[in-house]
Amino acid sequence: MAKSKTNHNLSGSIYKNGKRWWWKVKLPGEEKTKARPLRPLGSSMATTDYSVAIECAKMMLSQSMLKCPDKFEGKVTTVGELVSKFI
């Protein structure tokens, strides 16, 4: 039985390049779409595991959001607003 892939809610596209997972996306603060290997921390090659690839993509997105010069200004009063501004 084939394993079903979960919905990851990430922008761009996650695809296999050979046997390894890559992510083609324009991250916050960038001007162009770029393909990037989904490498776990400490690894020199992209992962072959889909769930690890999703986690790597989420980490890359969060790191790029922290480095992005566009910061949110204003008041957030609910957790829903905070999540909305974060995403």
Q: Which of 14-23, 58-67, 70-79 has the highest mean pLDDT?
A: 14-23
Higher per-residue pLDDT: 87 or 51: 51
- Residue by residue, DSSP assigns the chain as -PPPPPP---SSEEEEETTEEEEEE--TT-SS-EEEE-PPTT-SS--S-HHHHHHHHHHHHHHHHHH-S----S---SHHHHHHHH-
pTM for the whole structure: 0.71
When comparing pLDDT for 10 and 22, which is higher?
A: 22
Compute, in degrees rounded to 10, the torsion defined by CA atoms 40, 43, 48, 52: -10
Distance CA 52, CA 45 (A): 12
User: Token pair of 28, please?
Assistant: 């916050």
- Average pLDDT of the chain is 83
